Amino acid sequence: MADKNWLNENEKWLKTIVSLVDTELGQSAKTELYDAITKMSGEKPTTVDSTSTHQIVLATTENQNLISHQLFDRLNDEGYIIRTITEHEKPTILLSAKTDKGLLYASFHFLRLIQTKQHLGSLNIVENPKNQLRMINHWDNMDGSIERGYAGKSIFFENNAFTTNLERIKDYARILSSVGINAISINNVNVHTVETKLITDEFLPDVATVANIFRSYGIQTFLSINYASPIQLGQLTTADPLDPTVRNWWKEKAKDVYRFIPDFGGFVVKADSEHRPGPFTYERNHADGSNMLAEALEPFGGIVIWRCFVYNCMQDWRDRKTDRARAAYDHFKPLDGQFYDNVVLQIKNGPMDFQVREANSPLFGAMTKTNQILEFQVTQEYTGQQIDLCYLISQWKEILEFDTFAAGAGTPIKRIVDGSTFENKISGIAAVSNIGNDDNWTGHQLAQANLYGYGRLIWNPDLSTEVITDEWVRATFGHDPEVVEHVTAMLFDSWPIYENYTSPLGVGWMVNPNHHYGPNVDGYEYSVWGTYHFADNEGIGVDRTVSSGTGYTAQYFKENKEIYESLEICPDDLLLFFHHVPYTHKLQSGVTVIQHIYNTHFEGVEQAIGLMERWSLLKDKVDEERYQNVMNRLNQQIENAKQWRDMINTYFFRKSGIKDEKNRTIY
């Protein structure tokens, strides 16, 4: 329900909706406006020309005459204009775009203006998305489980079949479209036996049904595929990308897929990593493997999204010259310029694996002739699993603003992945979804902010974290000043808090293997091969320098390489990512490494308690269901923080033999 004072001033604009666009997306735009305005104002607007004094008009370039057509030259195919026109015989709020997809985004933007109580009498908005591909990746399995899924089961699959709850999928499409998402892959990148069949006639009709739902909200559907499909589905004896029979098999398979889904987006591929099949089996490289698939998809306008998460998980990590962080760059940088135009490399934000703090991937900016998109992880695999509160927009904002120096100073990652620096044909950002079948979609009510923030940030990486956060808080909880203040503060504080009581100074990991929740200092999936942090009784950290370590720092451009190479000027929060140092090494803060570990883990517990205490102040201001959901999670978070504190501090006290300067209890 809209604020009464705001409604008294603005409700005249909400009486009539006139749509001049009779397409599927145009209908979605009109329906979203109609339903939302009805719920927020309490009155149903008319959808025909009426006696009301004001109106909302939805129109594309061709069917509007209220503003100059030259203004549309500023728009791309997904951009839009929202303008209040008072000089017309009937004062009008015009929502207009070159395409009906842009019109849909305009409608959602207009509803956001209402939710945030913007005055409607003087709107003059021109919006274009900064990123071409704005994607969500699902890691859903057809048995209904989700790999790294912390909000319940899949909304797409159950019992090795597609769900019959299509309304839930439609609501999800509406959620994604409302923040500008335009692409989705619906199944796990680790493609198992049943999911391999998604590209067969057995399941393609179901995929088409889902694609139809997403299409009506401007979202293109992709599938993750098994690189060994020609063997598993086609009874071939090889999946060699240079074998003519394999190439022909994929060409015929592409025809099958597009017969069911004419606007199918393409394939997402994880190959040659963590036991997934790929071209390495046949002594081919990633360009060979991806180009074969690109050749099959090219006649239909499809693309191949090839993930750069490639490393040998069975390497012996006890060898201090072995460095997983080097892997993506070492594999892909030499192939720059060899990929077809409809291949895009999907690069994780860091060289390791979505840690609470790690360096940014040096691949960004390193490949000037190759399409590339950035991969984030909205689902909180290593950042609390939607049990612990960890608002990730601040982290992503830092990553996007990071200056790579790829084309000199002022070449941030956001200007590489939007395609502008190297004029890439395909560019953008993807992320792993945090959605499941919990009633509130994300398990933790406040984890919704990560999905909302992701969509808004990749639409426009220049938006501030403050603006994005304020939008979500007000749209979700209303405009009570106390609620807005406390929820906003909780979100902003949560990432540093989580970092404080988990992995210090960029060292990462230290989590339980497999499920990745809770502390395990020496934990690692392939534990026989040791740990990542190289802690001994003298010190801790990974030496990634050129002078004495793995040489990883050389993968960065000179300006960043010199910072990370230097023990003196390397940022404290990444010190142990780049250097192995004694426990007595003094940080730039003046505190020793060991004392920093003790301090932050004690502080982290107190800060987690502080989150709970702050939320408790809102007991009578938030409905009981949402209040209890968040309170239960915050109490779990406190227990988790205590476990981290006790295990980490005890481990490093016993390892180093150095006491806490503040004489706090360490077992």
Which residues are catalytic, by number?
Answer: 274, 353, 381
Q: Which helix (H) or strand (E) holds 85?
A: strand 80-85
Pull the structure tokens for residue 99: 């395409």
Asked whether 97 and 106 are in contact (CB, 8 A), the reply is yes
- Fill in the amino acid letter for 18: V
Yes or no: say if 461 and 414 are a contact pair by the CB < 8 Å rule: yes
Residues 6+ apart with CB under 8 A from 654: none
- Which tokens belong to 571? 């940022």
The CB-side HSE value for 556 (13 A sphere, CA atoms) comes to: 27
Which two tokens mark 561? 């390489």
Separation in Å, CA 528 to CA 11, 275, 315, 317, 545: 66, 17, 10, 9, 25
What are the DSSP E strand ranges found in 588-653? none
> Which of 92, 84, 25, 31 has the alpha carbon at shortest distance from 60?
25
Query: What are residue 347's DSSP bridge partners?
Result: 374
Which alpha helices (H) appear in 185-243, and where do they start and end? 193-196, 204-215, 229-232
Distance CA 247, CA 258 (A): 17
DSSP string, 357-390: S-PPPTTTTT-TTSEEEEEEE-S-TTTTTTTS--
Strand 80-85 and strand 303-307: the pairing is: unpaired
Q: Are 196 and 177 in contact (CB under 8 A)?
A: no
CA–CA distance from 639 to each of 218, 278, 613, 645, 646 (Å)? 43, 42, 14, 10, 11
Which tokens go with 325? 């962080």
Establish how many alpha carbons lie within 13 A of residue 581's alpha carbon, considering only the half-sphere containing its beta carbon.
Answer: 22
